[in-house]
Structures are given as structure tokens and as C-alpha cells.
Structure 1
Amino acid sequence: MTDGTPRNRLDRLAQLLLRYRVGLLIAGLLLTVLAIEPASRLELDESIESFYAEDDPYLAAWRDSKEWFGGDEFVLVAYSDPDILQTENLERLREFARELSEVPGIRPESTQSLASTLRPKDASLPVRLFLRFPITRDRLLEFSRHVLIGSDDETTAIVLRLMPEEQASVPRSETFARIRELAAAHDPPAYVAGEPVQVHDMFRYVEQDATTLGLASSGLLLLVILLLFRSIRWVVLPLLIVQVTLVWTRAALVLSGLKLSMVSSMLNSLVTIIGIATVTHVTVTWREFRKTMDRPEAFRQTFIRLAPAIFWTCVTTSIGFAALLSSQITPVRSFGIMMGMGTLLVLASTFLLLPGGILIGRFDTDPRSTPAEGRLLSGLAGITRWTARRPLIVSALALTLMGIAFAGFFRLRVETDFSKNFRDSSRLVQSLDYFESRLGGVGNWEVHFTAPEEIDQESLDRLRALAGDLRELQLDDGTRLTKVITLADGLDFIPGIAARTPQRKLSLLRDFQPEFVPGLYDQEAGKMRVVLRALEQQPAEVKLTLIDAVEEKSREHFPDARATGLYVLLAYLISSLLADQIVSFALAAAGIAIAMTIAFRNVWIGLISLVPNVFPILLVIGGMGWTGIPINIGTAMIASVSMGLTVDSSIHYLSGYRRARLAGADHFEAVRQTHGSVGRALVFANVALVLGFTVLSLSNFIPLIYFGVLVSVAMFGGLLGNLVLLPVLLRWVRWIPEAETADDATHLAAADATG
């Protein structure tokens, strides 16, 4: 590959790095100091809009709804009281609702409770007298069922409407924290839920994990490195590379106007893993050269040997992350940009900081061998002999496993049950369980459509017919809507003796429930909606089928009907991940194959290098299908990210194999030498990678746990693919690279001999 770049160019660059190592180190540290301030300003984008592209039709429908009807960003607070309908308990409920309404960020005039519905204080005298009739009270209770009171007549809910974030005097986090404080202090304790709370908690977990998991992965990996190399200097060096890269990446994101997204807690862990893997290869190679060379010469030889491989590993890893730009989901795309940038900055920090970090000072200059290294080398030699004797068995076994795994692709499913993103012990899941079992769920959504400027009897009849159809709608598995609310429901509540025309009924309804009419009907825009509620804890296919069925039934009455709401946005957000999985994987594979072809100047090598990396990814993703592990926001990125990370093993392996062949070794001898030198570094690096990703299992956000565990499995499979499957492929493909010059071959052979 680029070992074929004339050696004198690499030699001259190595000499420059040696000569200016102090200046480069100072420049890198100074740049880091300058980047700290902008890096500290990096923000987390918590808006629901960050999940979608600007021109996405579902997002457009959601924004239209907010403009017409004020938005449905509600927080629900519920508790149980066996005697909730008693006068004194309704007054306690009214007082609790008043306290919640005074929380900054809440629109107090929009607060709804059973007390304000049964006994509105601001209503006119005729309305208050009308509400005292038992039949009126019973109709109101039924009308409020699954919204303000549960089917058990004990559970009651308070509905709080959030102000738009730009109008609120405090951040949403403070609003939710205060609501939860009041809920916890209430007797009995109340539960808090609602889609805005779910989204907020998701971001809070992501933000907490960004720090916690970064420190955990750094600590664990550095401990592993200390055990492997028993050198303080060689523990500090990877830590320095990682932390500098993180500061640079964060500063670059701020300067480019980008923000962190919900999957960004992986930034610290992934940069840590990439940086430590890079330095691990340097450490092993440096240690070998130091057996026979002084420090400057050992650095020069290490640079000449590894610089091309490190360059191409960073490029291919960036390509793997860049493939995520094909996603239709904004957080996934921003993650791809962020990690592609971070990977390339690992390359920059390595070249700036390592020369000085390795050569300045005389303290603890050389890493040491671990006692288990001898057994590792024996094991690698055994793998060499085994693959050489059984190439057909290796190939047949690999093809069989890949075929079985590919069949699992057709069994993949997506996850839209939002509660499955969090641990069962979290307060969010406990609240969701409470609302799902007692109040018909928290899945609020709507169908909106064009309505006449003046409500007449004909339009109300159409609306009643639609409401009846939606209430009777039931899927094959029994799933149905838990609540349907229309403007006609409110108007029908008012008896004909009180008002005969729809317009008069609208006027009385505004007096009785000021928020009801504008929340369902925008006369100026000529738009109306039907508000719906469904269970949140349902499989993806059920949710999407229900949404489609509601939309189809609505269009029978109103042809331009469109379903929208946070419930719909989150459902379609997850469903698009299945297509993203395939597209991003294909793009990553194509991009990496092209990069490998350029690197090694050989199309066959570009194609061969994909096989040991596609192999473990097929097994992991196919295994997800067979075992029922769902695709979520974390697992959607496994294919392209894993390929970008595992291919670096192939690059280093092929580079070592090429050097051995240029030195005159046959295939078997080249594999033996490569396993004994490069293979050792690959094992060390991949052990660090796997351990680093398993740290994600500590996350509070379930998609990150899946991501960490499954990528760890893929990384381990990639290591086996490169040590077992790649040698077999190289045996059958007659690739005998030619040195560009005789001098180049001589120098490469000499470097291997001295190493």
C-alpha cells in the first residue's frame, strides 16, 4: 500500500517530526488550550425537530399543527384517591393543580383537572347551575374518562400544557424538575409522564452518559494498557491523544455551528477507543524496534512502518462513520459528521503529540512485555498452522454461517415502544406503566383536516361519523384507540334547550372550557382536528398499522386528513431505521473497498479486505433477527460503524503481510511472520476496543447498551476474521506485490529484520 510511497519521503517526514518534536508538542498543547473555551460552549440539541430533516413531511405536519392549535406538549401528573369525587378531595385536587400551574414554563390558563371540569370557578352562573345536575356530572365524567379520570374512578390526572421553549422564562429541565418535586411531595405521591418528559429524560441520560461513560471507558482501557505494557509514559500518551482529540472535536463542532445529538454520548467512548487502538499499534512496534535501536532511530523506523497504515485506518474509519450521512434521521447524521471529524483529528493529534511524547525526557521510555505474551504468540502460531491445513473447512464454515445470518435479516424488527429505551427501574418507565394501566396511555396524537369557516350541521354530522368510526376501529389483535375527542363531543354536551345553533353552542363551550374550542378548531386557518390517545407500550408494527388505519378511515370523511403528533413522529422515527441499516452498511462497504483499493493499489485486495469485516457484521445483524433483538437508534449504526472500526485490523494485517512478501517470504511464511508481529498488536488493540465498548453497558439509555455489546461482539468477530479468514483468502488470490524500486524492497526487508 502506501508503504510503496518512496521510502525517502517517509524518511524525510520522520526526520522533520524528530527535529521539531518539541515545537509540535507545544503547538498541539497550545491549540488545545485555545480550543477549551469554545469546546465548553457545545450544546445538546433537545428539540424534537432535531430528529428529522427540515423538509420531512411528518415534521411539516407537526409544525402546522402547532401553529393552528398551539401544540400538544403536555405533561401529565396523576395519582390515585379512592374518594376523588368527594368535595374535599376535589378541592385538594384543585389546589394541587394550582401549584403545578404556577411552575415556570407552564401555561396556567390551559391546565385541566377533574376539579376544574366538574366545578369550573370562572364559568358563568347558568353554566355552574347546569353542571350541578347529576346527569350532567355523569356525562362529564364519561367525557373525561381516560383523560382526567381512570376507568377505576380512583385515578385522576392533571394535564399541564407547556409554553413554547422560546417563550418560557426557564429551561425545560427546570420546569420538569419542579413538577417532579411537587409530585413527589404530594400525598399520595404522583406520577409524571408525557412525550416531552420522555424526550427530555432521554437527553438527560445521554448527557449524563457522555461524562460517565467517557471516564469509565478511559479508566478501564488505561488499566488494560498498564497491565499490558507496564509503563506510566505509555499509559499517559494514549490518554493525552484522546483528551486532546475530544477538545478539538468539540471546539470544531461549536465553530461549525453543529450541536450534540441524542446519540452523542458515544463521542467520548469512541474517540477513546480509536485513539487507544492507534497508540497500541505504535507501542508494540516501538517496543520491537527498541530491542536493537536507539530512541531516534526506533521512532524513525516506527513512523516509516506505521504512518501509512495509521493514515488509512483513520480514513477508512471516517468513511464508516460518514456512511451514516445517508440516514434520514438528523441525530444519526450529526453523529456521523461528529465521529468522522473526531477520527481524522485522532490522526492529527497523533502526528503532533506522539513524537515529543515518545522522545522528550528519559523517564520510563520503553513499554515492557506482559508475562502472558509468550502464550499469545504460541496461540497465534497455532492459528497459522490450523488455517494453513484446513482452508476449505474455514471457507465452508464461514460461508455457512454467513448464509444463516443473512436469513436473519428478514426477521429484523424495529422498536417503537419508547419505554424500552430505558431501564425498568427508571422513574420514567414506572410512570408510563402507571398511565398505560390506569389512564389509557400517554400516546397523544391527532388527525387534522380542512374545515369550513362557519361550523354547520353538515360538517358536525361528518365529524360525528368520523368519531364513531374511530371509536369502533379495532385491529386484528384487538388494538384500538383509548380516547377520541372531537369538537362535536363538546357541542353535543350542551343541551338544545340552552343553545339551538352550533355558533351559540360554541360560545357557551368557550365560556365553560376556554381551551377546548381553540385546541380543536382554528376558524381563521380553516383547520380542525380530532385528538386521539393510544397505548405507548406497543410493538412497531402495531403502532404503524394503527396510524395508517386511522388516517385511511379519516380520509373517507375528510380527504386531506393527516395524522401527526409526537406519538406519530416517534413511531416513524424508529421505523426508518431498518432502511438506514442497509443503506449505511452498503455505502460503508463501498467506500472502504475503494479506499483499500487506493491504499494497496489492487482491486482484489480492496474486495478481499471486506470479507473478514463483513463476516462478523453479518453474524451480529443476522443474529439480531434470529434472537429478536430489535433495531433502535443505537443498533441502527452497528453495521457502518463496526466496519469502519474493524477494517483497521485488516489494514495493519495486509501491511505486515505485504512487507513479508516483499522480503521474499512465501505465503505460509508471510502469514507466520504477520501473526507473530502484527497479530500481537491486533490482539492488544482489539482487547482494548472490546473492553471500551462494553463500558456502554453501564448506560441508562438501552440503545447504547445494545450498541456497546453488539459492537464488542462484532469487533471480536472482526479480529477472528482477520486472523483466520483473511490468510485463507490471501492464499487463494495470487497477489504478489512488486516493490516500486529494488531499494524500497531492501529497506523494507531490513526494517523487518531489525524489528
Structure 2
Amino acid sequence: MSSHPQRWLESLVDYLYKLRWILLLIFMVLTGLAIYPASQLSFEQSIESLYSKDDPHLLDYLESKRLFGGDEFVFVAYTTPELLEPEGLLEVRRFSQDLSKVPGVNAEVTQNLADALSPPKLNFFLRALIRRKQDEMTELFRGVLIGDDNQTTAIVLRLLPEEDSPVSRGETFRRIRQLAEGHSPQAYVVGEPVQVHDMFRYVEEDGNILFKVSLNLLALVLFLLFRRLRWVMLPLLVVICSILWTEAILVLGHFQLSMVSSMLNSLVTIIGIATVAHVAVHFQELQRNNISRPRAIRQTMVELLPAIFWTCATTAAGFASLLSSEIAPVRSFGIMMAIGTMMVLIAATVLLPGGISLGYLSAPLKHSSEQGLERILKKVCLGTEQYPRLILSGTVLLVLFAAAGFSRLTVETDFSKNFRDSSDIVKALNFVETRLGGASTWEVNFPAPPQLNDDYLDRVRALASDLQQVNPPGKQQLTKVISITDTLDFIPKIPFASDPLQSKLDSIKTLQPDFESSLYNSEKGRMRIVLRALERQSAEEKLSLIDKVDALAKKHFPGSKVTEKTDSSDVETAESGKAAGIFILLAYLIDSLLNDQLFSFLLAGASILAMMTVAFRSLKIGIISMIPNLFPIILVVGAMGWFNLPLNIGTAMIASVSMGLTTDSSIHFITGFLRERSRGASVVDAIRRTHRGVGRAIIFATCALVAGFSVLTLSHFIPLIYFGALVSVAMVGGMLGSLVLLPILLRLFYKDKVKSAA
């Protein structure tokens, strides 16, 4: 970045200024044309997309869906004192029939207590059996269809595969909830598909609403800071144009937003407003020095355009490092942010000359608050001159203390912690898990013979028995173990049956048509035991439970080698038993997002260092510029550990995201410093002048952005709250790094002689 503006830069600025009206008109028309395609940007609502394609947990889950049809269950639960009375069971059946009619529900396999205790289609043998074993029958469904209090019941709905459903998942859940809310007494709706849908719904809805609210708040803050409507409209224009252009390009490129990229608009807003804030402060300062508006516009663009370019370029490089991820939505997020950042560069370059030129514009007199701010900046600057060693020592100690918090970081696996306690999904989870049992469904699956036999079923019984004993003393984690042997053992042998086992299976089909196929796939040689577990568990408890269950499956069914006589003499291995299910996917979701973040973060750091070195043509300044950028990241991540803030969906990539955002302040400060040095100022004077000019712009931009991101604390989705708060902290940390650390480092490593970094 040259300290003496090169002729090509002056020529480019002159060209942009001469064509400012045409360019402004063209890009406003393009923005209008982008509105429709931008509105078509869709939202990827698949939890599977947040895993790499070769992730073993994902592969196990997809295999289970192929073998057994998937476990997309919805539980509708309520409590009534008359549950086991004839009237109570009649109401259960009626409510179950209403729920089964909801489009998207597989009506043929809905389970309810009334049909379980008195199936509508029974032969003489089963009718007599159920009358004799009514109590045993009730215990068989304990924890699934009836609670320990004999007053709480659940109706279990199995969803059709999404591609076979006549309506969207959202519409199915809306109608189920509508029936539940209208039921007396009130019913609660839970299930992993509902939780996942609510997560995406909150992210999408809150993201749109909060973005609009934050834009309005930002407009108010910008007006208070600059006291000119122009400097409210121009930043918002740059942000809105950048977002619309970005979204239109994404639609044309067949991209989809995801959970990871839901913060796209917010991050583009950061970059756009910070960029225009620097232009506004610089332009106003020139006008206050009685420089004419045309000349002030040109001089502002000449002096700031390189800084704006390198700010956007380094930010784009930081986000582009996410392309190293194995997870498709993370890679897409990197591409999206790189595009969005470059759109800010284009929008600011093209729209600002014309936007500033519109109408009458005079420089406002300095308000008393600005004068007070300059006095504070002067004191900060003097403090960095008088106490550099004390400040550096304190910073090192603070960084070391924050870094120690890394060891205290935890991962949030309780999916319900993503929602406020007042949300419907958390209330429903609390109801079901305290009155009925676990709301999460998963499984262990293992090899099975083509035809069931007693010896094999004894092994299944042994595994089921061990699974029932897996809970630690005094703690219930696994609440239900559902095995094919449970129902087989309930039905006595049928006299004179040629195949007693098959006759039992045929009888079970009368009770529940999909029972056998949902647990046993004879063609693929695989069986499973379905498990129910508490969702509201700590990370340690949940992951420990998964490991113990998986170990038991492998112990009882270790797998065996089977040699098939084929032309190529292939040897196939029957895979051992293993745990699988969406419960496991949700438990390891954050681990999946974190797996390659360290490499992405290091790649981002290396990319930004290389670009800063090229920008200033100095490795020394490149290294100096990285220190205030790393400072807020260590501070934020370490603070999460010390304050026991777990890593969740919103914070899993906070380090990589912050690295792409904190370069703005340092680039503008170093550019201002080098500009003053090129004019003959000493190191001390150059830093003081930069503090007074660029420092104000840094503070203005940070104040506006923190105000805008504070709106995220109103979200229903807890990760968005964390994200807004932590990004704000990172922005404040970047501001302090640029205004306190950077001046000290520049004085330490920059000799007091005029030298261009070009």
C-alpha cells in the first residue's frame, strides 16, 4: 500500500468521480433487478448436511435409515386422571385418529395406549391373551405410551419420508401442534425431528427479523454519531446492495443458506458499516479543513481506497480458509462470505462518490461529545507512550490468563439448551422427560441371520438385559430398551403351531403391522434394539452413555468373517454391533463443526499475514498487524472457558469468523500511520495524528456495530445470542488492540525516519 498515491490510483478515482452519476444509476438498477433472485435464496434444513460425507456417525445413521426406514417419531403427550378409565382410553383413541389424519404422518403405524391395550382387530386367541395379561401389557408399554403415574400418555406418530409427504415438514408440525394446543387437557409435542425443525425455523425467522431491527437501530446510532441523514443512508445503502447482490449470485450459483451461514447478513453488515464509517470520518475531517466537496471526495477515495481494498481482501481470505473444511455448509459459508465481502468493496467504491455528491452537504461542527472523545483518545495515546511496558506486560498476563480458559471449554450436547426455557419445545421436553421418559430415540443395530432362531434371540435378550443395566447408580439416562424379544416373550406359544416362532411373529403383525420390519431386516441381515434416552443431559453424561452402549453392542455382536465363493473369491465381513441414530448426530454435532476449525484458523492466519505483508510490502508490519488481531480472539475464546459458556452451533467457528473481522481497524490505523509518515511526521507525531483521525472512525464503527449486534440477544435461539455477544466482544477487543497495542508495537519496531512501506 503506497504512502504516495500512485498515478493509476488517482486516475481510477478521477474516472469513478466523473462517472459517479452513471455508476450510481446502473448499480441502483442492478440492485432492483437483484431483489427477485435474492428472495429465492432457500434454507438447507438438514442436520445431515452439517457432517462430512465420510463421517462414521453420519454413515451409521444413513445406513439405519436404509435398513429400517428411519426413526422420525413425534410424541404428543398429555396427562389426565381418567387415563385408564373407559372414557380416558376412548379419548386417547379419538385424539390419535385426529393426529393420524395430519398430512405427512404415516397413519398406518400410529401407536396409542388404547389400541395397545385393546387392539381393534383381534383374533380369539389374542383377545383372550390380552384380557388375561392386561397388567403385563401395560408394563410392556411403560415409558413409551404410559408414564409411571398411570395418568400420562403419549401418542407416537411416525412421519412419512419427507420426499413422500404431501406437505412440508413445517406444515405437518404446525397442524400437529394446532391439534395439541386445542386438546383438553393441553398436549405437548416433542421429538428430534421437531427439535431440528424448530432450530432451523428460529434461525431463519429470527435472522430475518433481527436483521431488520438491527438495521433500524444502526440507523439511529449512525445518526447520533454523524448527525447527518446522508451518513445514515449511505452505509445502509452499501449494506443492502451488498447483501442483495450476494444473495442473487448465490441463487444463480445454486447455493443454499444453512445453519452455519445464517449469520451471512449480519457479517456483511459489519464489513459494510465499518467501511463507510471510515469514509465518513475522513471526509468530514477534510471538509472541516475547508477543502471543497469534489476535492474532499477525491482525496478521501485516494487515501482510503487502498485500505478498503486490503480490508476486504484480507477478510475474504480469512473466510475463504473455510474451504479447507470437510463439511459442505462450512465450505459454502466461506464462499458466501468471500463473495459478500467483495460485494461490499464494489458497492463502497461505486456508490460512495455519487452518494456523497448528492444534494447540499456541509461538515457539521464538532459536537462536545466528539471533542470529549478526542480528549480521551489523546489520553490513551499518551498512556501508550508513558507506560508501554506496563501495558504490554498487562496484555501478556491477560492473554495467558485467557488462554488458560481454553482447557475449560466444553461442548454443548443438550440440544434443548439451544432454546430459551420459555420456548414451547423446552416446556414440552421438560414435561415428557419428567413424566414419561426420554424424548430421544436411537438404537443399537447388529448382524442377524436370514431367519430368526432361539439361540440368536437368546443373544438379543442378553444384550437387551445389559442395556437395561447401563445406567449409573441413582441416575437415569437410558429410559427404555425396546427389543423384538420383549413382545415375543409376551405372547405364549401357540398350540400345535408348526413353527412356533413364526406364529408368534404373525400374531404380532396383528397388533402392530410394522413391528418386525422396524426391528429386523432379514434381507440385509441386520437387527436393532430401539432405545429411549433423556435429551436433557450434560455433554459428559451423553457421550459416556453412547460409548457404553456402543461397547455393549460390539461385545455381544463382535461381527464375523463370511467367505463367499464367487469368481473373484471375495471375503466380506459382517459388521459388528454399533450405536446409531439422530440422537448421536445431535450429540456430536459441535464436534463435527469443530473438527477442522483449528486448521482453518491457522490457514486464515497465514493467509491474512501474507496479504498484510503484500499490502504494506513489509513482513515486519505484517507481523505487527497480526498481534492486535489475535488478541481479541484469544480473549473471546478464553473468556468462554472461564465463564463456562459452552461451544454451540453459534460459537463453534467463532475463532475463524473473528479472524476475518478484526483486521479492519488495524489496516486503517497502519494506513493512516504510514500516510502521516510519508508527509514527514515523526513516529510519535504520526501515531498521535492517526489516533485523532482514524481512532475516531474506529470507535464510531465499533459503537455502531456493537449496538447492531446487541439486537441478537433478543433471539429465541441461544446460539445466536452467544454469537451476537461474542462478536461484539471481539469487535471491542479489536478496537482496543488497534488503539492501545498497535501504537506501542509501531513505536517499538518502526524507526524514527521517514520511510514508505510501498
Q: TM-score, normalised by structure 2?
A: 0.94
Q: Does 1:446 align with 2:431?
A: no
Identify the residue that residue 74 of structure 2 maps to in structure 1.
75
* Equivalent of residue 136 in structure 2, options 124, 131, 139: 139
| Partner residue in 2 for 1:306 | 304
Residue number in structure 1 paired with 2:513 = 514
1:655-688 Cα distance to aligned partner (Å, 9 max, x none): 1111122222222111111101111111111111
In the alignment, which residue of structure 2 is the partner of 1:748?
A: none
- The whole-number CA distance in structure 2 between the counterparts of 1:236 and 1:225 is 9
Q: Hey, what does 2:374 align to over in structure 1?
A: 377
Specify the alignment match of 1:493 in structure 2.
490
Matched, 1:665 2:663: no
Cα distance, 1:370–1:636 mapped onto 2, change above 3 Å:
farther
SS in 2 for 1:518: helix
Q: Which amino acid aligns with 2:528?
A: R
Cα distance in 2 between the residues matched to 1:647 and 1:486: 57
Post-superposition shift, 1:368? 5.6
Distance of 2:476 and 2:312 partners within structure 1: 49
Q: CA deviation at 1:369?
A: 3.8
Q: Distance in 1 between matches of 2:332 and 2:432?
A: 34
Q: How far did 1:610 drift?
A: 1.5
Summarize the Cα distance change of 1:2–1:571 in structure 2 as closer, same or farther, 3 Å threshold.
farther
Residue 426 in structure 1 maps to residue 426 in structure 2: no
State the number of aligned residues: 738
- For residue 17 of structure 2, what is the aligned residue in structure 1? 18
| Alignment partner, residue 662 of structure 2 | 646
Cα distance in 1 for partners of 2:224, 2:617 equals: 38
1:61 paired residue number: 60
1:734 maps onto 2:750 in alignment: yes
Q: What are the residue-to-residue correspondences of 1:388-537 with 2, within 5 Å?
A: 388-475=385-472, 478-497=475-494, 501-537=500-536
**Structure 2: runs of 5 or more not aligned:** 559-575
The 3 A distance-change label for structure 1 pair 444 and 264 is same
Mean Cα displacement is larger for which, 103-112 or 241-250?
A: 241-250
Counterpart-to-counterpart distance in 2, 1:482 and 1:91:
27
Q: 1:719 Cα shift?
A: 0.8
Looking at structure 2, the residues matched to 453 and 404 of structure 1 have their Cα atoms a distance apart, in angstroms, of: 61
Q: 1:160 to 1:371 in 2, by over 3 A?
A: same
Q: CA deviation at 1:3?
A: 4.3
- Contact in 2 for aligned 1:218/1:239 (Cα 8 Å): yes
SS in 2 for 1:160: strand
- State how far apart, in whole Å, the 2-side matches of 1:476 and 1:648 are: 54
What is the CA–CA distance in structure 1 between the aligned matches of 2:755 and 2:397, rounded to whole Å?
Answer: 37
Shift of 1:578: 4.5
Q: Quick one: which amino acid aligns to residue 188 of structure 2? A: Y
What does residue 722 of structure 2 align with?
706
Which segment drifts farther, 694-703 or 497-506?
A: 497-506
1:153 is aligned to 2:153: no
Q: Does the aligned pair in 2 maintain the 1:329–1:573 contact within 8 Å? A: no
Aligned to 1:179: 176
Q: What SS does structure 2 have at the residue aligned with 1:532?
A: strand
Does residue 695 of the first structure (1) align with residue 711 of the second (2)? yes
AA at the equivalent of 1:592: I
The match for 1:355 among 348, 353, 356 is 353
Does the CA-based 8 Å contact 2:429-2:439 persist in structure 1?
Answer: yes
Of 335-344 and 576-585, the range deviating more from structure 2 = 576-585
Q: CA deviation at 1:129?
A: 2.5
Spell out the pairing of 1:38-437 with structure 2 (5 A cutoff): 38-133=37-132, 136-290=133-287, 291-359=289-357, 361-364=358-361, 366=363, 369-437=366-434
Is the contact between residue 222 and residue 232 of structure 2 (CA under 8 Å) also seen in structure 1?
Answer: yes
1:210 touches 1:264 (CA, 8 Å); kept in 2?
A: no
Cα RMSD between the aligned structures? Answer: 1.8
Asked if 2 retains the 8 angstrom alpha-carbon contact of 1:228 and 1:370, the reply is no
How far has the Cα of 1:362 moved from its partner? 2.2
The CA deviation at 1:53 is: 2.4
Counterpart contact for 1:103–1:178, Cα < 8 Å: yes
1:587 aligns with 2:603: yes
Report the alpha carbon displacement of residue 690 of structure 1 after superposing the two structures with TM.
1.4
Superposition deviation, residue 256 in structure 1: 1.1
Superposed CA offset, 1:343-386 (max 9, x none): 11111111221121112x32346566443111111111111111
Quote the Cα distance in structure 1 between the aligned partners of 2:296 and 2:201: 47
**Worse-matched range after superposition: 233-242 or 361-370:** 361-370
Give the distance between the partners of 1:224 and 1:299, measured in 2 at CA: 24
1:683 aligns with 2:686: no
Identity between Structure 1 and Structure 2 (%): 54
Change (3 A) 1:415 1:477: farther
Q: Which residue of 2 aligns with 1:747?
A: none
State the AA in 2 paired with 1:10: L
Deviations 1:75-98 (A, max 9, x none): 110000122111221111001000
Look up the equivalent residue of 2:343 and give its one-letter code.
L
Shift of 1:510: 1.4
Query: What 5-or-longer segments of structure 1 have no aligned partner?
Result: 745-755
Paired residues of 1:324 and 1:637 also in contact (CA < 8 A): no
695-704 or 117-126, which moves further after superposition?
117-126
Runs of 4 or more consecutive aligned structure 1 residues displaced over 6 Å after TM superposition: none
Q: 1:621-656: per-residue Cα shift (whole Å, max 9, x none)? A: 111111111000111222122222121100000111
Supply the distance in 2 between the matched residues of 1:195 and 1:154 (Cα, whole angstroms): 24
- What amino acid does structure 1 have at the position aligned with 2:299? Q
* Structure 1 CA distance for aligned equivalents of residues 754 and 30 of structure 2: 42
Question: With structure 1 as the length reference, what TM-score do the two structures score?
Answer: 0.95
Aligned to 2:635: 619
Q: Which amino acid aligns with 1:542?
A: E
Alpha-carbon distance change, 441 to 474 in structure 1, aligned in 2, over 3 angstroms? closer
Could you tell me how far 1:55 is from its partner in structure 2?
Answer: 2.8
Q: Which amino acid aligns with 1:317?
A: T
- Residues 592 and 404 of structure 1: is their aligned pair in 2 closer, same or farther, counting only changes over 3 Å? same
Distance 1:130 1:120 in 2: 12
How far is the alpha carbon of 1:581 from its aligned partner? 4.8
Q: Which amino acid aligns with 2:296?
A: A
User: Does 2:8 correspond to 1:9?
Assistant: yes
Q: Aligned partners of 2:283, 2:620: CA distance in 1, in Å?
A: 31
Which amino acid in structure 2 is aligned with residue 308 of structure 1? P
Per the alignment, do residues 569 and 155 of structure 1 end up closer, same or farther by CA in structure 2, a change over 3 Å counting?
same
- Deviation, structure 1 residue 23: 1.5
Q: Distance in 2 between matches of 1:571 and 1:589?
A: 30
Change (3 A) 1:330 1:163: same
Contact 2:286 2:296 in 1 (8 A): yes
